């Protein structure tokens, strides 16, 4: 097993933000330029970037895809993206825009056929995000907690062929 730490840039309404425990009403804006923030992480030695489209995570629509494409075009390090990716069209758009790895979260539970198709088509360029609260998977930008145990989901992901999991323990 390899453990890699990724600097994360969470984007909401085109800004770099941090939410307190996924609460969209408790937001701190750090920058109005996700690209400048990505370039700063690269200057500081980051070898990879983790981008989260928080608007996408909440709505299921990739509202920040232009900002994400701009990041990819303006850094030299690989970029992985998650947040609201729930269709092959969304996966394809991110891959075509230069994203190295696409992260599927909510859809890994809600649409296992989509996940299987994405992994079958793009292999290790697909990762799954498991956000867990008290051992149970949280979905929809942490707004819902399912009855699915994180460890049970991990076993299913292995069966589908998922090679990379991004795990977040929500306190």
Task: Read off φ and ψ for residue 14, nearest 5 degrees.
Answer: 80, 0
Helix, strand, coil shares of the chain, percent, nearest 5, are 40, 35, 30
Place of tokens 């840039």: 9
Measure the CA–CA gap between 56 and 65, rounded to whole angstroms.
9
Residues 6+ apart with CB under 8 A from 158: none
Strand 126-133 to strand 164-170: parallel, antiparallel, or no bridges (unpaired)? parallel
Strand partners, 79: 49
* Residue 131 known to be catalytic: yes
- Rg of the chain over Cα atoms, rounded to whole angstroms, equals 15
How far from chain centre, in Å, is Cα 144? 17
Measure the CA–CA gap between 59 and 143, rounded to whole angstroms.
11
* Residue 10 known to be catalytic: yes
Catalytic residue among 10, 53, 55, 140: 10
Catalytic residue among 23, 53, 113, 131: 131
Active site residues: 10, 131
């Amino acid at each position: 097993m390899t453990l890699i730490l990724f600097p994360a840039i969470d984007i909401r309404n085109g800004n770099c933000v941090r939410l307190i425990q996924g609460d969209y009403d408790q937001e701190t804006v750090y920058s109005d330029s996700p690209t400048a923030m990505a370039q700063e992480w690269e200057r500081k030695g980051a070898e990879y970037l983790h981008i989260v489209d928080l608007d996408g995570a909440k709505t299921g629509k990739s509202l920040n895809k232009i900002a994400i494409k701009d990041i990819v075009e303006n850094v030299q390090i690989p970029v992985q993206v998650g947040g609201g990716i729930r269709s092959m069209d969304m996966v394809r758009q991110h891959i075509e825009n230069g994203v190295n790895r696409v992260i599927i979260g909510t859809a890994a539970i809600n649409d296992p056929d989509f996940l299987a198709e994405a992994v079958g088509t793009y292999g290790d360029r697909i990762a799954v995000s498991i956000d867990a609260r008290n051992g149970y998977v949280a979905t929809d930008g942490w707004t819902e907690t399912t009855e699915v145990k994180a460890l049970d989901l991990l076993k299913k992901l292995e069966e589908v062929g998922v090679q990379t999991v991004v795990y977040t323990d929500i306190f």
